Structure 1
Amino acid sequence: MKANIVEKQSDQQSVNIFQKRRQQKLFWTGMLYLSPALLFLTVFLFYPMFKTLYFSFFQTAGAGIVQGFVGFDHYIRLFNSELFLGSLKSTFMFVLYTVPTGIVIALALAVIASEKLKGIGFFRIIFSSSLGISVAAGATIWLFFFHPTLGVLNNILSIFGVSSIKWLTSSSWALISVAITTIWMNIGFNFIILLGGIQNISEELYESAKMDGAGYWRQLLSITIPLLSPTLFFVSVVTLINSFQTFGQIDILTGGGPSNSTNLLVYSIYREAFYNGRFGYASAQAIILFLIILVFTIIQFKVGEKRVHYQ
């Protein structure tokens, strides 16, 4: 009897050792497959992040050579700098201009393009056309639109007797002009995602609503928008992050001017690092921008997910 018990325990131990070895083998096999991605992320994501955090606590020379530890001095200087606080304000205003407006316009276009009308495919191509245009090309196009004398926008305004607007050279209009350009650039992506979400909604729901006497607007508000909420949530998160990281159109259209009215945080980081050679100061701004995006994203997930309705 005791021999049988000992034999069973020995067999169980052998099984446990075999399972443990098998799990280890599967783990290292998985790590082997993941190693190229992990290497890529380490070189291009994790290392730059930790290096940025490291630089933010040190004074650096023009070539990024560390000269001495300064602690939180860069952060204290930032929040005592009118230039940085102005950049922070401009960034929040820019996000406020671009995110809600861009999502609403893209949603309206997606609703229109989801209708079963003759030739609607042509309009779907037009609505999504900005998706295939690079930031540099798109900003250059709008650079001609905003031209004070030859620009299309001012020529249209002159038809209605409205005086020309200094779109890019006025501190009152420059941020709005960049926001218009950014909204146009983001519409293509948002439109494609929202249109896909609308087309994924079952037609049976609309047919049942019609049988109950629901009109077009009732169907839109009671079926389309609630069932599209997961897609809207995704689009809002992505658009918010992209707005905080806007750079290309600012560099081409305004260069941060006039009077630093379009000197958003990303562009301010670029100028401090590569124009002024203050990598530590720029790194502190980058950390602050990262924290701002992180906080807003967490708020979106905490608040937004409560309003998301899954089918």
Structure 2
Amino acid sequence: MIDSAQSLTRQQIGRKKGLRYKTDWPMAILFLAPSLILFSLFLFYPLFKTLYYSFHLTNAQGEASVFVGLENYQYLFTDPAFYQSIKSTVLFTLYTVPASLIIALFLALLSNEKLRGIGIFRVIFSSTMGISVAASAVIWLFLFHPSVGVFNNVLGMLHLPALEWLTNQKLALFSVSIPTIWMNIGFSFLVILGGLQNIDTTLYESSSIDGASYFYKLRRVTLPMLSPTLFFVATVTLINAVQSFGQIDILTKGGPNDATNLIVYSIYKEAFVNYQFGTASAQAIVLFIFIFIATILQFKFTERKVHYQ
């Protein structure tokens, strides 16, 4: 009797849950509808449209005309210019992401100290967030100018030869990386500073009582507690570096000799200069896979060292 009563009660509970789920399902769809519509319009539709174009040749109006299967991808992987764009993108990422993270961490550690007037420096360090990519690139274009630029004038004062910052094939990618690092510092600094201010101060007080030095607390307390923030900043900075476009277009336009022709700029030139939307779409799909794999690898190997509270 007891077993039959318990089974009957379980059936009733199951029926109630089923009715509740059936009742809640339309309401859930209603609340999710705005997000689903926006994602469909601005994310899923462009993604599937790009994938569709990558299997076709297109006309000057960008309409698919001939289905060619994987020929666009075969063309890419036999094109030396495409391999050069991949190499430049990887080097550009290696130049910008670690440097942005280290400099922003250093500035955040300085700004987290309780010093008089530190608020002014916080505003200065985060000010690059308020400047657009175009305006920043124009500023740095004048700084890199071969004759009236500040950098070459400083070299002249030191009796050193002037450098062709943006026209030298060996220097161009490094030169473009400098403005990118400068532009990334503002966002990274603010996020890291917020993470520092959320660390429990009792941890530092306990370490001080035990006689721990500043660098010991930095290594054993600050960095482990800050690791989720650093992981987030590193991931976002990596994705932004791979997708860099504005500073490339203004400073070098992908030159000299495709030294700064990052894959995003290569997609732009292929689509809107050469009007080859099929191969441009294929490059975009390759870029998507590259970012996807890089993000997964970052989660797989880096997140192990992240200490979540």
Q: TM-score, normalised by structure 2?
A: 0.94
Q: C-alpha displacement at 1:19, in angstroms?
A: 4.4
Q: Find runs of 4+ consecutive structure 1 residues off by over 6 angstroms.
A: 11-15
* Identical-pair percentage: 54
Alignment of 1:126-205 (within 5 A): 126-205=124-203
Q: C-alpha displacement at 1:13, in angstroms?
A: 7.5
User: Which runs of 5 or more structure 1 residues have no equivalent in the other structure?
Assistant: none
- Distance in structure 2 (CA, Å) of the matches to 1:261 and 1:44: 32
- Partner residue, 2:52: 54
- Distance in structure 2 (CA, Å) of the matches to 1:114 and 1:155: 35
Deviations 1:44-86 (A, max 9, x none): 1100000111111111112122121111111111111111111
Deviations 1:4-56 (A, max 9, x none): x9xx97x9878766643432231111211211111111011100000111111
Aligned counterpart in structure 2 of residue 35 of structure 1, from 23, 33, 36: 33
- Partner residue, 2:300: 302
- Partner residue, 1:276: 274
Aligned-residue RMSD, C-alpha? 1.9
Amino acid at match of 1:74: N
SS in 2 for 1:309: coil
- Partner residue, 2:289: 291
- Distance in structure 2 (CA, Å) of the matches to 1:16 and 1:310: 36
Deviations 1:127-153 (A, max 9, x none): 000011111111111111111111111
2:216 is aligned with 1:228: no
Alignment of 1:253-272 (within 5 A): 253-272=251-270
Alignment of 1:107-118 (within 5 A): 107-118=105-116
- Distance in structure 1 (CA, Å) of the matches to 2:290 and 2:139: 31
Q: TM-score, normalised by structure 1?
A: 0.94
Q: C-alpha displacement at 1:174, in angstroms?
A: 1.2
- Distance in structure 2 (CA, Å) of the matches to 1:159 and 1:104: 30
- Distance in structure 2 (CA, Å) of the matches to 1:64 and 1:297: 31
Cα 1:195–1:68 shift into 2, 3 Å: same
- Distance in structure 2 (CA, Å) of the matches to 1:241 and 1:14: 51
- Distance in structure 2 (CA, Å) of the matches to 1:202 and 1:280: 53
Q: C-alpha displacement at 1:310, in angstroms?
A: 2.0
SS in 2 for 1:128: helix
Amino acid at match of 1:85: Y
Amino acid at match of 1:295: I
